[in-house]
Amino acid sequence: MQSALNPAGIQASRILDLWHLTLGVCCAVFAAILLACLIAMIRAPRAGRDTRADVSFVGRPEARMRFWVIAATALSTFLLFGLVLADVLTDRALSRLPVDNALRIEMTGYQWWWQARYLRDGDAPEFTLANELHVPVGRPVIVSLKAADVIHTFWVPNLHGKKDMIPGRDATIEFRADKAGVYRGQCAEFCGYEHALMAFSITADPPAQYEAWAARQRKPADAPSEQIASRGRDVFMVQDCARCHTVRGTGAQGTIGPDLTHIASRRTLAAGTLANDRGHLAGWIVDPRAHKPGTAMPPTRLPPDDLQALLTWMETLE
């Protein structure tokens, strides 16, 4: 779900109220202009080909018309200042969200994916994942925004407005999800070839369900219990995968690509590009640029048995 017209948090509701006000004012002005045009067309004198031009009104004072022009100008100015005031009041309201006991996340935009680092939450240690966030319903969230390469923009319209992520400059955005659900986010600043395929999601869970999810995410990957999965882990470590990706609980500590410790628990691959199932995962490993041209991940050509073993192991990373 990705719609500013279906708010799931208090900030998005205030933005929607401002949108409704702006839409109402603009529709009223547009209707008044159409009405004025219709009246002018009805009252306009009719003429034929042989009718002589009437220039008698040139230089004649038009007090009535001057009054309507001045009135329309004054009303337009009043409405514009009213919208500016509403905008300022909405901006102030957005900045006053109580953030006591907030969940803190550090979000970094890359070409073209998202890294989310959940900072320490009380005594619970931090952990890292990619492209799919979870937050507890009813608890404020403070997201620190960073850009690793070019300008990106964090935008989840169901929860808040847009916030730019500029390299070398840190920013923050605060929101609170008041309804459980899955809300789609998107980079809203053109950031290169695959800008359109740079999505993420925020899942708002009931507090107990969120805590269970976070506890699983903090754990390292389980050791494989089957021989084929053990072989798949060995394939991962021998290939270039381990140089770019991290899988906590193994020797893979790469930082170039997303953390894959719990990749099997995610709904999508490659920042929302593909559904996370065995077939799409195989296609992504073998030739990622066929699905997302421009991605930095190189193709990985594997013998069929090695590929199947790798897929089996990755499906255990829940």
Domains 1-36+66-216 and 227-314 share a fold: yes
pLDDT category at 46 given cuts 50, 70, 90 is confident
- For 110, residues 6+ apart whose C-beta sits below 8 A from its C-beta are 148, 149
pLDDT tops 90 at residue 159:
yes
Distance in angstroms (rounded) separating the CA atoms of residues 166 and 141: 20
- CATH 2.60.40.420 for the 1-36+66-216 domain, yes or no: yes
pLDDT tops 80 at residue 63:
no
Q: Which element (helix H / strand E) includes 75?
A: helix 63-94
Beta bridge pairs of residue 174? 142
Distance in angstroms (rounded) separating the CA atoms of residues 259 and 256: 9
Q: What is the pLDDT of residues 246-282, one digit of tens each?
A: 999 999 998 899 999 999 999 999 999 999 999 999 9
Mean pLDDT of 160-165: 94
Note whether 254 and 227 are within 8 A (CB).
Answer: no
Peptide bond into 112 cis (omega under 30): yes
Higher pLDDT, 45 or 14: 14
Mean pLDDT of 269-297: 93
Note the pLDDT of residue 239: 86
- For 233, residues 6+ apart whose C-beta sits below 8 A from its C-beta are 224, 250, 313
Instruction: Enter the tokens of residue 183.
Output: 């809300």
Mode of pairing for the β-strands spanning 140-147 and 103-110: parallel
- 227-314 falls under which CATH superfamily? Cupredoxins -  blue copper proteins (2.60.40.420)
pLDDT category at 8 given cuts 50, 70, 90 is very high
Note the pLDDT of residue 268: 95
pLDDT tops 80 at residue 59:
no
**Domain spans in the chain, listed from the N-terminal domain onward:** 1-36+66-216, 227-314
pLDDT category at 52 given cuts 50, 70, 90 is confident
The DSSP annotation for 93-138 comes to HHTT---TT-EEEEEEEETTEEEEEEPPBTTBPPEEEESEEEEETT
Note the pLDDT of residue 51: 76
Share of the chain above pLDDT 90, in %: 75
Return the minimum-mean-pLDDT range out of 31-35, 37-41, 114-118, 211-215.
37-41
pLDDT category at 90 given cuts 50, 70, 90 is very high
Tell me how many helices (H) and strands (E) the chain has.
7, 12
Note the pLDDT of residue 186: 95
Note whether 197 and 273 are within 8 A (CB).
Answer: yes
Distance in angstroms (rounded) separating the CA atoms of residues 294 and 225: 36
Phi then psi for 160, rounded to 5 degrees? -170, 180
Note the pLDDT of residue 53: 74
Mean pLDDT of 171-180: 95
Note the pLDDT of residue 125: 93
